[in-house]
Amino acid sequence: MLIETKKQNMRRALFPGSFDPITLGHYDIIRRGIKLFDEVIVAIGVNSEKKYMFSLEERKRFLEDTFKDEPKVKIVTYKGLTIDFCKVVDAQFILRGLRNPADFEFEKAIAHTNRKLSKIETVFLLTAARTSYISSSIVREVIRNNGDYTVLVPDSVRTNN
């Protein structure tokens, strides 16, 4: 793993997700997150029970290609509880994007649980209005039905798919 130990007073956030695939909504949250934190670790969760459209290697490549010129963004994979992985990489914050009230209710319950189990704080960013309707599941459905998904994802997904 290429995560260095925390520098003095470094604000490190973990942005977890499956990123199947990364969307313009994810991209927006990460770009805005790097303005708030010294480093954003984009962590692709591995769940052997879940069926993915894109392999772990493809999802990682999409993210690495998208942020290849951004030194404040690190791309990693992990298994297990997000709060346990935060301890491994010394992240004090979990970064999450909110698209709608349903996201808020779901994410709020997870944030309360994480805070009860650890000292990790969750920071929520509202998605930009122009991307608030985009989800990975919608992108996958558009791809499955041969629709134009290119307006919903970063260039890395367009050129590598």
CATH code of the domain in which 18 resides = 3.40.50.620
Active-site residue identified among 35, 50, 51, 116: 50
Q: Does residue 3 carry a pLDDT above 80?
A: no
Mean pLDDT of the region 58-83? 97
> In the predicted model, is pLDDT for residue 7 greater than 70?
no
> Does a structural domain hold residue 44?
yes
pLDDT over 70 (residue 116) = yes
Kindly state whether residue 126 falls inside one of the protein's structural domains.
yes
Burial 58-96 (b: 16+ CB within 10 A, else e): bbbbbbebbbeeeeebbbbebeeebbebbeebbbbbbbb
State yes or no: pLDDT of 70 exceeds 70: yes
Coarse DSSP helix, strand, coil percentages of the chain, rounded to the nearest 5 percent: 45, 20, 35
Domain ranges, residue 30: 12-155
Q: Is 118 annotated as a binding residue?
A: no
The pLDDT, as a whole number, for residue 153 is 97
Average pLDDT over residues 142-158: 94
Please give the full DSSP string across 25-88, using - where no structure is assigned.
HHHHHHHHHHHHSSEEEEEEE--TTSPPSS-HHHHHHHHHHHTTT-TTEEEEEE-S-HHHHHHH
Residue 4: its pLDDT value, please? 57
Is 59 designated active site? no
Annotated catalytic, 48?
A: no
Asked if the structure places residue 3 within a domain, the reply is: no
Quickly count: other Cβ atoms within 10 Å of residue 120's Cβ: 19
- Mean pLDDT, range 134-145, rounded to an integer: 95
24 lies in a domain? Answer: yes
pLDDT of residue 29: 97
Contact 121, 92 (CB under 8 A): yes
Q: Is 108 a catalytic residue?
A: no
Confirm whether 129 is domain-assigned: yes
- The terminus-to-terminus CA distance of the chain in angstroms comes to 27
Catalytic residue among 26, 59, 74, 156: 26
Share of the chain above pLDDT 70, in %: 93
Which sign does the torsion angle of CA 8, 11, 17, 18 carry?
Answer: negative
- Identify whether 160 is part of a domain: no
Q: 26 catalytic, yes or no? A: yes
Per-residue pLDDT, 160: 64
* 2 is a domain residue: no
Radius of gyration of the chain (CA): 15
% of residues, the chain, pLDDT over 90: 85
Q: What is the pLDDT of residues 76-93, one digit of tens each?
A: 999 999 999 999 999 999
Look at the chain and report how many structural domains it folds into: 1
Q: Tens of pLDDT along 28-43?
A: 999 999 999 999 999 9
pTM: 0.90
pLDDT recorded at residue 5:
54
> For residue 155, is pLDDT > 60?
yes
